[in-house]
Amino acid sequence: MITIPAHLREGLIAHAQREAPRECCGILAGLDSAVDTVYLCRNVAPAPDREYLVDARDQREAFQSIVDIGRDLLGFYHSHPAASPALSLSDRAHAYYHDVAIVIVSLATDPPEITIHELAPA
Ligand SMILES: [Zn+2]
């Protein structure tokens, strides 16, 4: 299971709150399952209030940076502005990377809730 330190969790929540009612999204990197780097990405989904699609250029740049700074890709995150932090059907359908975590920031509760989902290998 990956770990996300408190100050980065606060950053994820802040990103989610800025983008609401749209879902925010981004990429998490670090070493030994400990997240230390967050890449904020653009959500280019057709219906960004209920799904997310990481901008291809943002993802490419993040992946290159992860290599450049010697980190590992640890996960993707996105927000659920009004829903629980459970994986939606769309989230499962779009989980192309089965060896990394899917982190969801839910703004449906006060305080916001962050959950880490790790899918079984495909
Ligand atoms: Zn979702």
- Ordered per-residue pLDDT tens for the chain, 122 residues: 999 999 999 999 999 999 999 999 999 999 999 999 999 999 999 999 999 999 999 999 999 999 999 999 999 999 999 999 999 988 988 888 878 999 999 999 999 999 999 887 65
Distance (Å) from CA 64 to ligand 1 centroid = 25
CA distances from 73 to 46, 81, 84, 94 (A): 26, 25, 25, 17
- Domains of the chain, CATH where assigned: 6-118 (3.40.140.10)
* Strand order across the beta sheet in which 72-80 lies: 34-41, 25-31, 72-80, 101-106, 113-117
| Ligand 1 center from residue 30 Cα (angstroms) | 22
Instruction: Tell how far the Cα of 79 is from the centroid of ligand 1, in angstroms.
Output: 6
Ligand 1 midpoint to CA 50 (Å): 7
Phi and psi at 109, nearest 5°, equal: -115, 160
Q: Please, which residues have CB less than 5 A from ligand 1, an ion?
A: 88, 91
